Structure 1
């Protein structure tokens, strides 16, 4: 089986344009792996086949820039969390990535804000939003913390900050991190 980089890019494009589903990609991969004549570089990725990951795979094929781990592996962010905590004079208090974070529905916008209250059962204590803050009851929706990897992996580095910390950042490199004593008593 001869597979070119262009073949793989076309496969990605077809998936991203909804011309094929993930079963086609799974079948293609199995056929390639099973073919004795196919030269495989023994790379074990095994990330979920979804729009984000296929877009990242296409980016890797086109540019050699690999962001798949940033969007799929929580542990890749631990050192960055510790650095943020050191820089901000915070104790590193990692969260359980299986617990919930309150997020606004418009996480794709900039800037992004976050604050950490004391955790309640099943939550991390983190609330993250973009755009105008609202007091509406439905402004924050719970999501599992590890799902932020696919949506906004660049904010995972802040989630080791201790209770009482806040952050504000944007895609242009602006960043502000500060301690707010009032958050500890809510």
Structure 2
């Protein structure tokens, strides 16, 4: 069962939309997706678990990025897209 972590703001379409992928573990795919400029400090409470198959309906803007392997990040807004590799995400 491939779970992702997603924020309520991302599910409501708030921008900018951020995503980062850690290596998969314990049934997760490693993706964490949120809206806003900064990664939340209270991430244990902040992210909801959602099976990746539901993202197509609940947060379709992230679909083009979900095939990126662990270590990748994205930031998307109305007229902006940035995708980059962040090796620190692989240090678990």
Question: TM-score when scaled to structure 1?
Answer: 0.45
Structure (1 or 2) with the larger CA radius of gyration: 1
Q: 1:181 Cα shift?
A: 0.6
One of 55, 59, 66 as aligned partner of 1:152? 59
Question: Which runs of 5 or more residues in structure 2 are unaligned?
Answer: none
Which consecutive aligned stretches of 4+ in structure 1 deviate over 3 angstroms post-superposition?
A: none
Q: 1:173 Cα shift?
A: 2.7
Q: What SS is found at the alignment partner of 1:119?
A: coil
Counterparts of 1:68-107 in structure 2, within 5 Å, are: 98-107=1-10
1:53-81 CA deviation, whole Å, 9 max, x = no partner?
Answer: xxxxxxxxxxxxxxxxxxxxxxxxxxxxx
Q: Looking at secondary structure, tell me which structure has more helix per residue.
A: 1
Q: What SS is found at the alignment partner of 2:88?
A: helix
Greater displacement, 147-156 / 120-129: 147-156
Bigger RCO (CA 8 Å, 6+ sep): 2
Q: Looking at secondary structure, tell me which structure has more strand per residue.
A: 2
Is 1:110 the equivalent of 2:19?
no
User: What is the root-mean-square deviation in Å for CA atoms of aligned residues?
Assistant: 1.2
Distance 1:134 1:173 in 2: 24
Q: What SS is found at the alignment partner of 1:134?
A: coil
